[in-house]
Chains A and B, each alone.
Chain A
Amino acid sequence: MLSAEYLAVIVGMGIVTYVPRWLPLVLLTRRRLPLWLVEWLDFIPASILSALVVPYLITTGDPRHLDILRPELFVAVPTFAFALVTKSLAGTVVVGMFLFWLAGIYL
């Protein structure tokens, strides 16, 4: 069953995802973003991805506490290295999953 609450969440997610995709296409040939904003936005992907991944790898629990002896972190090292070398999104996903699966069996 579709709840109204869930629909509201995905419509909200859809709108805030669509607008940044749409706005520059419609506006940009006439008006450019100020340079500082473009430069600031340029740092956002690296910042957000790091802010998402690092806490997941070295903290756990609720309330959160540091824990660096987790398979999530051990697997991340070769997975990251694989991504650096191959630059393959699909390959990295498959290798990361495989290593995490192995870690679950042997650790």
Chain B
Amino acid sequence: MQEEKVNGLSPDRRERWGPVIKDGVIAAWPICLGYAPIGLAFGVIAQKAGLSPLEIGLMSLLVFAGSAQFIGVSMISAGAGFMPIVITTFMVNLRHLLMSSSLAVYLRGINSGWLSLFAYGVTDESFAMNLTRFRDAEWDWRRALVLNHTANGAWIASTIAGGYGGQFIPAGAFGIDYALIAMFLCLLVFQLRGMIYVIIAAIAGVLAVVSALVIPGDSYIVIASTAAATAGLFFRRAGFFKKQERESC
């Protein structure tokens, strides 16, 4: 193993943690603000699905993935088994593979212990924020690490708070049942970075509806998304849609 390159670590070691933590927390603030309503909504939905604040907090601590947790809770309350839930979670979070891949460029020479701690906090939001900051050059892995874990703390706290507050919020109040779909709609918009993504999303949507109508259970998500991504790969290789994004990782 060659990740123990001391030269990659020593410049950072000289700086004290104080200013590093301050910078990381400040940069995480918009993410925390965004997580609060979603975390509260998740806590409420999970509580209505029969989970206790302890169970909610533990899921947020162990999983720390917004969409996967929403899906997990809806599948648990629908009586889904272990394997469907875990496979769906894996598929939903496969995107992190790409995010960590692009982040790795900025994390060379860091030992595997710190990397493992950093990996835990890779989310759509922290990825987007850290990658933008890394390009500014004043950012470093320790600030990014603090940002990740500040966001994680806000997520855990807001989901637990939602789990307690949920008992006092009547069903359907404030349209909270729609928080999940609204979040997915916005994350989908973030993904539509060119015509080919619009086509692929349309294919996935049609395939999902058809297979949801034909096949019982939740396998339609995996079937439709793998088929649509494969179609996308085919289209790109066939040169049907030119890359339109300004840059890719």
Q: Could you tell me which A residues sit within 8 Å of B by CB distance?
A: 1-2, 5-14, 16-18, 20-26, 28-30, 33, 36, 38-59, 63-66, 72, 75-76, 79-80, 83-84, 87-90, 92-104
A97 to chain B, nearest CB (A): 4
Which B residues lie within 8 Å of A43 (CB)?
197, 200, 228-229, 232-233
A46 to chain B, nearest CB (A): 4
Contact indicator A49/B86 (Cβ below 8 Å) = no
B46 to chain A, nearest CB (A): 11
- B151 within 8 A of partner (CB): no
A70 to chain B, nearest CB (A): 11
Contact indicator B82/A12 (Cβ below 8 Å) = yes
Set A2, A36, A66, A97: member contacting B179, Cβ < 8 A? A97
Stretch at the interface among B15-23, B96-104, B159-167: B96-104
Contact indicator B201/A47 (Cβ below 8 Å) = yes
Contact indicator B122/A2 (Cβ below 8 Å) = no
Q: By DSSP majority rule, is chain A's interface helix, strand, loop, or mixed?
A: helix
Which B residues lie within 8 Å of A48 (CB)?
91-92, 94-95, 204, 221, 225
Across the A-B interface, how many residue pairs have beta carbons closer than 8 Å?
Answer: 295
Contact indicator B119/A21 (Cβ below 8 Å) = yes
Which A residues lie within 8 Å of B176 (CB)?
97
Contact indicator B182/A55 (Cβ below 8 Å) = no
Contact with A along B167-179 (1 / 0, CB 8 A): 0000011111111
Contact indicator A13/B85 (Cβ below 8 Å) = yes
Known: A44-B95, A47-B224, A65-B213. A53 touches B197 (CB 8 A): no
Contact indicator A38/B184 (Cβ below 8 Å) = no
Which B residues lie within 8 Å of A54 (CB)?
204-206, 208-209
Q: How far is the CA of A75 from the CA of B185 in the complex (A)?
A: 11
